[in-house]
Amino acid sequence: MNRKPMIIAGLLLAIAVTSLAMAQRWRRDRNRDWQSAGRGDVPDWETNADFPNDMFTFVRIKYQSAGWGRGGGWDTDFRDSDLNFSLRLHQLTSLNVNPEPIVLELTDPRLFDYPWIYIIEPGRLMFTQPEVVALRRYLDNGGFLMIDDFWGDEEWQNLYYQMKRVFPDREPEDVPLSHEIFQCVYPLKIKPQVPSIGAWGGRGSRTWERGPDTQTPNYRSITDDAGRIMVFICHNTDLGDGWEREAESPDYFEEMSVKYAYPLGINIVTYAMTH
């Protein structure tokens, strides 16, 4: 029997008591500047002082959204998702993790200081041309983009169009379950579908949101000429809610955060940081 899923389940359940105390403060006042948002009750930790620039930082990308369709924007699940995932990455891996996630725009010159970036809810995303140029340069130079939490054919078509502006010569391709991104730290037996906590009906209930075009989780990638994943796309699933909402329901935490959202998130970061 492979012990890794059992190990992560045991560890996360053991620290669940800390998650239940985490405040969900950002959602109470989403109009304030993100830099003024505190940590709520998410604990802080010391980083390796000998290597101040050698640590993983959760970088959320701020973008513009169109005024049509469903879905949220760049700050969906912010800021608890970023804080919680950074904490669990610190607790469950040997990575030197920055306790303070940050927000950047694609045109910010600091983008190239960070090897991993995160875009959420891209169903209405609209890149400006300078953002298209910056993102392609970032990815061609070794950066990694994770895209998460969008549902259905219409939202997929919007993301597809935006990414074709970045890479007109490359097509997104399905990533098989056998790929190391699903297996490198915590072996997954399925491609998980994590619904938002509001759409989840409890243990044994359906895991998709909205209509029939959201029933199948799709994991696709855009790779470089050497086969390295540059963009990992999580469609018809919501890993970010599995990170953000861990404090709100013990059942959701055990079924979605422990089994799927954290293991796959850790696998994705591990792959990004080693390729």
pLDDT tens, residue by residue, 230-244? 999 999 999 999 998
Average pLDDT, stretch 144-156?
96
How do residues 90-140 score in pLDDT, each as one tens digit? 999 999 999 999 999 999 999 999 999 999 999 999 999 999 999 999 999
**Per-residue pLDDT at 203 exceeds 90:** no
Other beta carbons within 10 angstroms of residue 51's beta carbon come to 9
| Amino acid symbol at 116 | W
Which residue, among 80, 82, 141, has the nearest Cα to 114 in the 3D structure? 141
Pairing outcome for strands 102-105 and 59-62: parallel
Other beta carbons within 10 angstroms of residue 94's beta carbon come to 6
Provide the pLDDT for residue 211. 86
Average pLDDT, stretch 189-194?
96
Average pLDDT, stretch 242-251?
87
**C-alpha distance from residue 166 to each of 31, 68, 268 (Å):** 30, 22, 21
| Structure tokens that stand for 109 in this block | 């010159």
Over its C-alpha atoms, the chain yields an Rg (Å, rounded) of 18
Cβ neighbours of residue 123 closer than 8 Å, sequence gap 6 or more: 69, 70, 71, 150, 151, 152, 154, 155, 158, 159
Provide the pLDDT for residue 248. 83
**Per-residue pLDDT at 77 exceeds 90:** no
Structure-model confidence comparison of residues 62 and 18, the more confident one = 62
Percent of the chain with pLDDT over 90: 64
Provide the pLDDT for residue 179. 98
Average pLDDT, stretch 203-217?
85
Q: Tokens 């089994």 — which residue? A: 259
Residue 116 backbone phi and psi in degrees, to 5 = -135, 130
Structure-model confidence comparison of residues 111 and 198, the more confident one = 111
**Per-residue pLDDT at 260 exceeds 90:** yes
Please state the pTM of the whole predicted model: 0.88
Average pLDDT, stretch 143-166?
97
**Per-residue pLDDT at 37 exceeds 50:** yes
Q: Which of 60-64, 175-179, 206-210 has the lowest mean pLDDT?
A: 206-210
Q: Return the DSSP state at 180.
A: G
**Per-residue pLDDT at 205 exceeds 80:** no
Provide the pLDDT for residue 90. 94
| Amino acid symbol at 249 | S
To the nearest whole number, what is the mean pLDDT of the chain? 86
Q: Tokens 């045109």 — which residue? A: 107
Handedness of CA 20, 73, 146, 181 (dihedral sign): positive
